[in-house]
Amino acid sequence: MQDRPKGAELLAIARRTLVEKLTDLLPEERRGDASRIAEAMAIAAREIEAGERPLRAELERLAALYGETPAEAGDREALEGEVTRLNRRLAADIRAGKFDSPDRRRAARAHLLDSARDKLAESKPEHLKARGLD
């Protein structure tokens, strides 16, 4: 068992300290930097919390588009490689018109929207909440 606080929790604590206690002590011209650092810390914490779940979900959606069983990618690098490979295939197939039929277009669109939603959940979750998409 890993000791607590975990990495995402440590980032949240550090971010909260930066925002609540340190930013006001900085010169005005440096506060924007502190804000960007705090946002980067929040994104990193969400990425840690999500782990490989978004990548695995993307791999499953991509494999489903092609009627395949998702490859068992062992480590994160292999998983990212397989997702990249299938995304490149999808892009080439879209350009080649292989997703022009209504059903295939609908399936590709659903995948792309889900992928965008997963990315926003990590980078800008407030945008999803503001639109009721969370």
Q: What is the pLDDT along the chain (134 residues), one digit of tens a residue?
A: 667 888 999 999 999 999 999 999 999 999 999 999 999 999 999 999 999 999 999 999 999 999 998 877 678 899 999 999 999 999 999 999 999 999 999 999 999 999 999 999 999 999 888 988 77
Determine contact, residues 89/68, Cβ cutoff 8 Å.
Answer: no
Is the pTM value of this prediction over 0.95?
Answer: no
Nearest to 58 by CA among 111, 107, 108: 111
Q: In degrees rounded to 5, what are phi and psi of residue 96?
A: -80, 0
In this structure, the number of other CB atoms found within 10 A of the CB of residue 106 comes to: 11
* Amino acid letter, 54: P
